[in-house]
Structure 1
Amino acid sequence: MAVVGWAYELAESLLAEPLPRRWAHSRGVAARAESLAPVLGDDAETLVAAAVLHDIGYAPVMAVTGFHPLDGARHLRMLPGLDERVVRLVANHSFALLEAEERGLRETLEAEFPQLDDEVLVDALVYCDMTTTPDGSPTTSYARIDEILGRYGTDSVVGRFIRRAAPSIHESVARVRVRARADAAGLTA
């Protein structure tokens, strides 16, 4: 898992000092991703790397557009040898396309970073992000959405986006839980 170690180092270098709470969240999201390794098999490394990197666009040195999925993915695509799926997962994590639309950046995001056509990986990253508190602790997707609305306000760009995304977020989380239960019961390949 060389890419995972590299991803942790990069995310820590960008987030730990200027944004310690964001770094705690990223570590918590990555821990959730690691817990899904049995369900994901060969894709586990991709998920863990994307999970730890998903919020690097918040780093002050990267915040160009103010839209963290786009800013983070733009930085990542310039780095040699990184799996394109990791970059596209970061760009589109947790239904970012809906927030991009609220910000007038939907066409830009779609053109630069098409959504990954892998429901299992996409759902897994949504699950990891949206069931982890800002401090890195486990939570429910319902509590997480309430926390986001409380932090940003219902009429903010983020508030409007998260209200629109909420049904899809809950559906993704439910699908991951079903897959994890099936895997634990030995029902998956």
Structure 2
Amino acid sequence: MMKDDPRPSESDSRNVLELVLNARQLAAELVGPLGTRWLHVKAVAKCATEVGREFVGEEMRAVLVTAAWLHDIGYSPEIGHTRFHPLDGARYLRDEGWPETIVNLVAHHSGARFEAEQRGLAAELAEFPFPDGPLLDALALADLTTGPSGERLTYDERIAEILRRYPEDDPVHRAWLTAAPVLRESVQRAEARLAAGSA
């Protein structure tokens, strides 16, 4: 699926554009056939590009945008072995040699740890170190203010939409009952950094 050229390392700032382009290509191949999911991913990547201005350095911005393109590849039937998309996406990226920071962001994006608990997959998700910090917050902001068809939403609108879409006995619904206040703080931190950078 990916080009045979070696992927750029995290420290090779000369290749950050290639990293983002490779991520977009892979996302198009794996998520493109999934209809509205592809609209969501494209909009999240666009939002991440805008949010990325809070970071100093082209490399950090590229890591964020790359993770945004790749965050939902685990929904692809080609790689979705556990049917828990953060884990499936991260395992695929790790096996394909993507940079560790990106792999860990995909594994833990948007409160994945809460859903992993509901699915009995917390130990499996723990294969990937939790990348707590500004990049994870920024990815949450991009993902959790973008609706399932790519529309821009507030955080509260997005969580309400998730809770409506999944029935009460679904692991996703149960996870968000716990995750919502924690991820609200994550999104607010990213918004505050973005506002401070614009001041």
Q: TM-score range by the shorter chain?
A: over 0.9
**Superposition RMSD in Å:** 0.9
Are the equivalent residues in 2 in contact too, given 1:91–1:113 (CA < 8 A)? yes
SS in 2 for 1:132: coil
Q: Give me the identity figure in percent.
A: 46
Indicate which of 122, 125, 128 corresponds to 2:139.
125
2:51 alignment partner AA: L
CA distance in 1, matches of 2:30, 2:63: 20
**TM-score where L is the length of structure 2:** 0.88
CA distance in 2, matches of 1:154, 1:34: 34
Counterpart of 1:5?
Answer: 21
1:106 alignment partner AA: A
Counterpart of 1:150?
Answer: 164
Unmatched segments (≥5 aa) in structure 2: 1-16
Deviation for aligned residue 1:45: 0.4
CA distance in 1, matches of 2:164, 2:90: 27
Deviation for aligned residue 1:154: 2.6
Aligned residue pairs: how many? 181
Q: Deviations over 1:1-26 (max 9, x none)?
A: 11110000000001112x12111111
1:103 aligns with 2:119: yes
Deviation for aligned residue 1:141: 0.9
Deviation for aligned residue 1:41: 2.4
1:73 aligns with 2:90: yes
Deviation for aligned residue 1:67: 0.4
Deviation for aligned residue 1:120: 0.4
1:33 alignment partner AA: A
Are the equivalent residues in 2 in contact too, given 1:97–1:109 (CA < 8 A)? yes
Counterpart of 1:21?
Answer: 36
Q: Deviations over 1:49-68 (max 9, x none)?
A: 00110000000111100100
Unmatched segments (≥5 aa) in structure 1: none
SS in 2 for 1:115: coil
Are the equivalent residues in 2 in contact too, given 1:141–1:169 (CA < 8 A)? no
**TM-score where L is the length of structure 1:** 0.93
